Amino acid sequence: MSTRFSSSDNSSPVSPRKVVLIGFMASGKSTIAKQLAELLGFSVREIDSLIVQRAGGLSVPEIFEQNGEEYFRDLESAVCASLHNEQGVVVSTGGGVITRDGNLLNLKANGGIVVFLRSSFETVVARNADLSARPLFRSVEQAKELFEQRAPIYHAWADLIVDTDGKESEPVCSEIYSALRCRA
Ligand code: S3P
């Protein structure tokens, strides 16, 4: 795990009240969000679920199919904007949230801490058993290209990077929890 803050850093005493999980598809964001929220006593905000609500219950693949990716991205941006002032939440993002800078600016607003769940490409392929659930992960080749394009962007936005390869969700959560407590 690498982090841009440490227990000896007293210059930033703000206690994070909004934790934003980013990372590629199938990097474990939803699972970690639930467990971390429980540890922190926070609520979960699952951006994909909020998009589905705004789309009147259409699933993510249905939104892509019927309205196209731009429409999906517009809904995603609207959901990120709606989370600007939220406190006491762990936000689980979709892997493409970093495709628009404004999304991360809204999520980082009011003390949001961005945690990058970093997985190798081999791990995300192994985890993504249901290819039909992810319109941008329909083939390994397509996903590999996106993975390489996006990796530097996840790194650039991250306040904290946690490696998830070969780990169960509990140790990943504990690492995040300890780093956040150090910051408090
Ligand atoms: C996407 C990731 C998905 C979902 C949509 C687009 C992406 O979320 O938002 O299919 O562009 O990477 P997960 O990261 O939860 O799979």
Instruction: Name all domains of the chain by residue range, CATH numbers in brackets.
Output: 18-183 (3.40.50.300)
Angstrom distance (rounded) from CA 176 to CA 56: 34
Whole-number Å distance, alpha carbon 59 to ligand 1 midpoint, is 12
pTM of the predicted protein model? 0.92
- Asked if residue 164 lies in contact with residue 119, where contact means CB atoms within 8 angstroms, the answer is yes
Q: Which protein residue has the closest C-alpha to ligand 1 atom 9? A: 94
100-147 confidence digits (pLDDT tens): 999 999 999 999 999 999 999 999 999 987 778 899 998 999 999 999
Q: What is the pLDDT of residues 51-97, one digit of tens each?
A: 999 999 999 999 999 999 999 999 999 999 999 999 999 999 999 99
Output the CA 11–ligand 1 centroid distance in Å: 35
* pLDDT at 183 (0 to 100): 75
Identify the pLDDT of residue 49.
Answer: 98
Largest CA distance in the chain: 51
Tokens 């789309």: give the residue.
Answer: 55
According to the model, what pLDDT value does residue 74 have?
A: 98
The DSSP annotation for 82-104 comes to: HTTT--SEEEE--GGGGGSHHHH
Q: Is 60 in the pocket of ligand 1 (CB under 6 A)?
A: yes
Task: Using pLDDT thresholds of 50, 70 and 90, give the confidence band for residue 149.
Answer: very high
If you search the block for the tokens 């408090």, which residue do you land on? 184
Closest listed residue to residue 42, CA positions, set 102, 100, 115: 115
Exposed, middle or buried, 21 (CB in 10 Å: 0-12/13-18/19+)? buried
Pocket lining: 135 vs ligand 1, CB cutoff 6 Å: yes
Contact 89, 111 (CB under 8 A): no
Ligand 1 nearest atom to the CA of residue 134, by list position: 10
In this prediction, residue 181 carries a pLDDT of: 86
Please tell me the residue having the least CA distance from ligand 1 atom 16. 25
Residue 104 CA to residue 168 CA, distance in Å, equals 27
Question: Does ligand 1 lie within 6 Å of residue 96's CB atom?
Answer: yes
Q: How many CB atoms lie within 10 A of CB 104?
A: 20
| CB distance 61 to ligand 1 below 6 Å | no
